[in-house]
């Protein structure tokens, strides 16, 4: 059976931490869909269109990585796309607790789906998108924290 993973997230914007998890997962799956979950209640820093463009730029060298966005439940999106797995990254024990409950609920909602976790590389364990947004808000340069060559415009 062909294995498709959905990596859901806000990616507002993508960081080196996300990039690391996704590139390490490429050999594990036939296809990875990096999917921006649209949150109606949360106004993003970057628009969905901008975030999609950043993701397309970063993953253009990888033919098995597909970029998309969705609204509604992640498990419904997984059913629609024929995904077999949900991929997530773990940085800390706080991530683990948060991810554990989501994964267990998703399993209940859609028993055929398996969530798999990859541990972050130690150098990325303090990194998240809000760090990058803060740097940008205050006129700093986030280049060390975002994928190489990516321009956040």
Residues designated as active site: 18, 42, 91, 129
Q: DSSP assignment, residue 5?
A: E
Shortest-Cβ-distance residue relative to ligand ADP: 17
Does 13 sit behind a cis peptide bond, omega within 30 degrees of 0 on the bond before it? yes
Burial string for 125-143 (b: 16+ CB within 10 Å, else e) reads: eebebeebbebbeeeeebe
Residue of 5, 21, 58, 132 interacting with ligand ADP (CB under 6 A): 21
CB of 80 to ligand ADP, least distance (A): 20
Q: Residues 69 to 88: which contact ligand ADP by CB under 6 A?
A: 88
**Where along the sequence are the contacts to ligand ADP (CB under 6 A)?**
9-11, 15, 17-18, 21, 88-89, 91, 95, 120, 124, 127-129
């Amino acid at each position: 059976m062909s294995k498709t993973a959905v990596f859901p997230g806000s990616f507002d914007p993508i960081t080196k931490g996300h990039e690391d998890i996704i590139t390490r997962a490429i050999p594990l799956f036939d296809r990875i869909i990096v999917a921006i979950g649209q949150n109606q209640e949360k106004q993003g820093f970057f628009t969905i269109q901008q975030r999609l463009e950043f993701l397309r730029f970063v993953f253009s060298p990888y033919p098995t990585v597909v970029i998309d966005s969705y609204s509604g439940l992640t498990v419904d999106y997984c059913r629609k796309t024929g995904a077999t797995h949900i991929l997530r990254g773990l940085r800390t024990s706080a991530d683990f607790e948060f991810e554990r409950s989501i994964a267990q609920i998703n399993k209940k909602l859609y028993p055929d789906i398996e969530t798999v976790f990859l541990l972050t590389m130690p150098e990325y364990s303090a990194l998240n998108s809000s760090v990058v947004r803060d740097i940008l808000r205050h006129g700093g340069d986030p280049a060390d924290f975002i994928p190489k060559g990516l321009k956040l415009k």
